[in-house]
Amino acid sequence: MKLITDGNVNIYYAQTLCLLFFPAAKFSESEPVTGSTPVVTMTSTEVESGVRATAKIKIESGESYAEVFKQYGDNSHGETSREDAVGTPSDMLTGRGKRRTENIALGAAMLEAGRKLFGSTPAWGLLTGVRPAKIAAEFIAEGLDDKSAARELSSDYMINPKKAALLTAVARNEDNIRKTLGDGLCSVYISIPFCPTRCAYCSFVSYSTKRLLSMIPDYLERLYHDIDDTFSLIRELGLRVATVYIGGGTPTILDARQLDTLLERIGRYVQPEVLREFTLEAGRPDTVTAEKIAVAAERGVTRVSVNPQTLNDAVLEGIGRKHTAEDFYRAFELVRNGGIKTINCDLIAGLPSERFSGYSRSVDAVLKLKPENVTFHTFCVKKSAELLRDGTELYLRNGGDTSKCVDYSQLKAKNAGYSPYYIYRQKNTVGNLENVGFSLRGYEGIYNIIMMEELHSVFAVGAGAVTKLVPRGEGRIERVAVPKYPYEYMNMGVNSDAMNAVYAKIRNFYNNIY
Beta pairing class for 373-378 and 277-281: unpaired
| Pair 139, 54 in one domain | no
pTM of the model: 0.89
Domain that holds residue 151: 132-176
Residue 89 and residue 145 in one domain = no
148 and 97, same domain (yes or no): no
Q: Report the CATH number that the domain containing residue 269 is assigned in CATH.
A: 3.20.20.70
Same domain, yes or no: 29 and 152 = no
Q: Per the domain annotation, does 229 fall within a domain?
A: yes
262 and 227: one domain? yes
Q: Are residues 206 and 305 in the same domain?
A: yes
Long-range pairs of 78-84 with CB within 8 A, sequence gap ≥ 24: 82/474, 82/475, 82/476, 83/134
- d(CA 347, CA 350) in angstroms, rounded, equals 10
Query: DSSP characters for 148-190?
Result: HHHHHHHHHH---HHHHHHHHHHHHHHHHHHTT--SSEEEEEE
Alpha carbon 55 to its chain's center: 29
Q: How many domains does the chain have?
A: 3
Per-position pLDDT tens, the chain of length 514: 999 999 989 999 999 999 889 877 888 877 788 888 999 999 999 998 899 999 999 999 999 999 999 998 744 433 333 333 334 555 567 665 788 899 999 999 999 999 999 998 899 999 988 899 999 999 999 999 999 999 999 998 999 999 999 999 999 999 999 999 999 999 999 999 998 876 666 655 444 556 778 899 999 999 999 999 999 999 999 999 999 999 988 999 999 999 999 999 999 999 999 999 999 999 889 999 999 999 999 999 999 999 999 999 999 988 888 889 999 999 999 999 999 999 999 999 999 889 999 999 999 999 999 999 999 999 986 654 454 444 445 555 556 789 999 999 999 999 999 999 999 998 778 888 999 999 999 999 999 999 999 999 999 999 999 999 999 877 899 999 999 889 899 998 888 898 999 999 999 999 987 6
Do 12 and 115 fall within a single domain? yes
Rg of the chain in Å (alpha carbons) = 23
Q: What is the DSSP secondary structure assignment for residue 33, as one 8-state letter?
A: P
Q: Is residue 514 part of a domain?
A: no
Whether residue 127 lies inside any domain: the answer is no
Verify that 172 and 189 share a domain, yes or no: no
**Residue 67 in domain:** yes
Q: Distance between CA atoms of 315 and 231, rounded to whole angstroms?
A: 41
In a domain, 410, yes or no: no
Co-location of 194 and 262 in the same domain: yes
Q: Is residue 169 part of a domain?
A: yes
| Statement to judge: residues 226 and 325 lie in one domain | yes
* Residue 487 included in any domain: no
Are residues 262 and 153 located together in one domain of the fold?
no
Residue 468 lies in a domain: no
